[in-house]
Structure 1
């Protein structure tokens, strides 16, 4: 998911989404429309680069979503899909920066991108396979226990880590929390930088008092920071959308392939949920309520 900050951020012709977020939740990046050489309605075996292999495009160093060692939850879900299809999984790795979709999926270097924000127009998205939300990451016992919202007055004089350009940054500004905020970059080459890890490290060492991250990233670093951290899903915020549905991304022409993936998602949803829960992803139900673990 392919991971990112799963936030939709568009300026002019640049279209960036993460896993994403991701935002994006989850970042997919600038589409190359000229690469769409297939016709709608073709059978799945014609639509795929190699019908004998599940070809996936992913970021090589973007945990908890994916890495070259196959340790991310998107790697695990891709393996599940390959198993159900009876196909081996092969990866094309490319950093999820501007040009990701144009240089991978739309160049026919793969047939699916994991972790696309549902409705993203850079790709054709399947039905969603999870829904999650931006979350606050705190250290227990530091005066923020029981917090539920960015409107909490205890945050007024706190130093809060925030990824620039994400939806919660807008809410922090509205709540007067930017004066002491520490910004972290939204779009980076994950081979060399990890703003999420930097934020978690800063929280553990006390350089910041709290941090706001995309839910899957917050959950992952709460488990891997070496210090007990608490994830607070920001479910009570209003005015700015904080939760997103995450899907698979395919080419706009690949109708039969999308239907196949939709079927696999439906048939294997419980196993997908188990993988996500293992990584600490805060999951929401169809009503936007937190699913108990």
Structure 2
């Protein structure tokens, strides 16, 4: 994977984000399209989601995008219906005339692959390390000299990999791979376990993924949004909902729900330890696994 596709499995660009993971980022879109039911008591809100992609979604409807889909359907007075799609396939369905979706829950803003709503949160890649590591305490950017000679895990061919190369840290990086048909969440969990055990000094993950799995670690971990980098492209992203093209009324309806309920949406995200940022990169809700 490369570019935006590199975090396609974390950010429903059809990366979360991995995770995680964003730079000239071409996310894999999972957008199915169908005509919206006429307004009525049994109107359906059809959502495309991955059945095994925590913390975003799963078939048990345990992810934060599942919770957001339920929230939106409730506000619209619609019945929620899922079409399950494994994003790891990299398949991008046609956006016209076939499929069964009205919404894709986590679509990176500005990819141009499909239409999208206003962002419902901003987030970034994060640096994760043991909270009790005296060598790394307070590190908040990859250019910090204390990271030199440290073993840093990350997903191969993601924007942070290019950034590490620019800074000169690639020799000590440990790239992780996720192959078609595999859940990237399991690879993220492996990275977190290696930090906790000391096999890795740190890791770079897509914010929602890193925050979620770090809070489940056996030891306290620090989760630091990478918003202070001066090299390379920005790795802060606005996350939107993917919608059908040429449906301005429906798009306006969804935007209205997002705007009027941002505080409630943030509560959902905080429950999963998602680092929520302003568009300028200031932290709104801390992504921390310190206990």
Answer yes or no: same fold by TM over 0.5. yes
Query: What is the match of residue 135 of structure 1?
Result: 126
Query: What is the match of residue 220 of structure 2?
Result: 228
**TM-score, length-normalised on structure 1?**
0.83
* 2:178 is aligned with 1:166: no
Check the 8 A contact 1:66/1:73 in 2, yes or no. yes
1:107-157 per-residue CA deviation (whole Å, 9 max, x = no partner) reads 322111010001122211100000001110101222211101101111111
SS state of the match for residue 282, structure 2? coil
Check the 8 A contact 1:101/1:122 in 2, yes or no. no
1:156-181 per-residue CA deviation (whole Å, 9 max, x = no partner) reads 11110011122211111111111121
* Deviation for aligned residue 1:36: 7.3
Query: In structure 2, what is the Cα distance between the partners aligned to 1:256 and 1:79?
Result: 20
* 2:16 is aligned with 1:19: yes
* Deviation for aligned residue 1:29: 2.7
Unaligned runs of 5+ in 2: 7-12, 287-291
RMSD: 3.0
* 2:146 is aligned with 1:147: no
Check the 8 A contact 1:20/1:116 in 2, yes or no. no
Query: In structure 2, what is the Cα distance between the partners aligned to 1:7 and 1:205?
Result: 31
1:192-233 per-residue CA deviation (whole Å, 9 max, x = no partner) reads 872211211221222211000011111101111232111011
* Deviation for aligned residue 1:265: 0.6
Change (3 A) 1:105 1:282: farther
* 2:101 is aligned with 1:110: yes
1:40-84 per-residue CA deviation (whole Å, 9 max, x = no partner) reads xxxx646x9x97111111011111111111111101100100110
* 2:83 is aligned with 1:92: yes
Total equivalences in the alignment: 275
**TM-score, length-normalised on structure 2?**
0.84
Query: In structure 2, what is the Cα distance between the partners aligned to 1:69 and 1:237?
Result: 37
Unaligned runs of 5+ in 1: 11-15, 39-43
